[in-house]
Amino acid sequence: MTIRPRLYLVTPPEIDPAAFPDLLSRTLEAGDVACLQLRLKNADGPAEDSAIRKAVERIRPICHNHDVALILNDNPTLAAELGCDGVHVGQEDTPYAEARRIVGPDAIVGVTCHDSRHLAMLAAEQGADYVAFGAFFPTGTKQAKTRAEVELLQWWSELMEVPCVAIGGITVDNCRPLVEAGADFLAVVGGVWNHPDGPAAAVAAFNRLFDEAAEATGKKPRR
Ligand X SMILES: Cc1nc(C(=O)O)sc1CCOP(=O)(O)O
Q: Which residues are annotated as a binding site?
A: 37-41, 73-74, 93, 112, 139-142, 169
Q: Which phi and psi (to 5°) does residue 73 adopt?
A: -80, 140
70-109 footprint of ligand LCLJCK34 as x/- string (CB under 6 A) = ---xx-------------x-x--x----------------
The residue among 24 and 183 lying less far from ligand LCLJCK34, judged by its C-beta, is 183
Quick check: 6 binds ligand LCLJCK34 (CB under 6 A)?
no
What is residue 185's three-state secondary structure? strand
Extract long-range pairs of 176-179: CB within 8 Å, 24+ residues apart: 176/209, 176/213, 177/150, 178/5, 178/136, 178/150, 178/153, 179/5, 179/209, 179/210, 179/213
My answer on whether omega of the bond before 99 falls inside 30° of 0, hence cis, is no
Sequence-separated (6 or more) residues with CB below 8 Å from residue 69: 34, 35, 36, 63, 85, 86, 108
Residues, the chain, total? 223
54, 66, 117, 142: which one contacts ligand X (CB under 6 A)? 142
Choosing among ligand X, ligand LCLJCK34, Mg ion, none, which partner's interface includes residue 12 (Cβ < 5 to 8 Å by kind)?
A: none
Q: Using CA of residue 85, residue 67, residue 169, residue 48, what is the dihedral sign?
A: negative
Answer for which of 4, 9, 38, 39 binds ligand LCLJCK34 (CB under 6 A) is 39
For the CB of residue 89, give the shortest distance to Mg ion in the complex, in Å: 6
Residue 11 interacts, among ligand X, Mg ion, ligand LCLJCK34, none and using kind-specific CB cut-offs from 5 to 8 Å, with none
> Residues 26-51, buried b or exposed e (16+ Cβ, 10 A)?
ebbebbbbbbbbbbbeeeeeeebbeb
Distance CA 61, CA 220 (A): 34
Between CA 168 and CA 170 the distance in angstroms is: 6
Among 3, 36, 38, 167, binds ligand X (CB under 6 A): 167
Of ligand X, Mg ion, ligand LCLJCK34, none, which one sits near residue 165, judging by CB under 5 to 8 A according to partner kind?
ligand LCLJCK34
**Which C-beta is closer to Mg ion: that of 166 or that of 213?**
166
- Contact yes or no for 55/17 (Cβ under 8 A): yes
**By the rule CB under 6 A, 112 interacts with ligand LCLJCK34:** yes
Site string for ligand X, 183-212 (x = CB under 6 A): -----xxxx---------------------
**Which residues form the interface with ligand LCLJCK34 (CB under 6 A)?**
8, 37, 39, 73-74, 88, 90, 93, 110, 112, 132, 134, 142, 165, 167, 187
**Which residues form the interface with Mg ion (CB under 5 A)?**
74, 90, 93
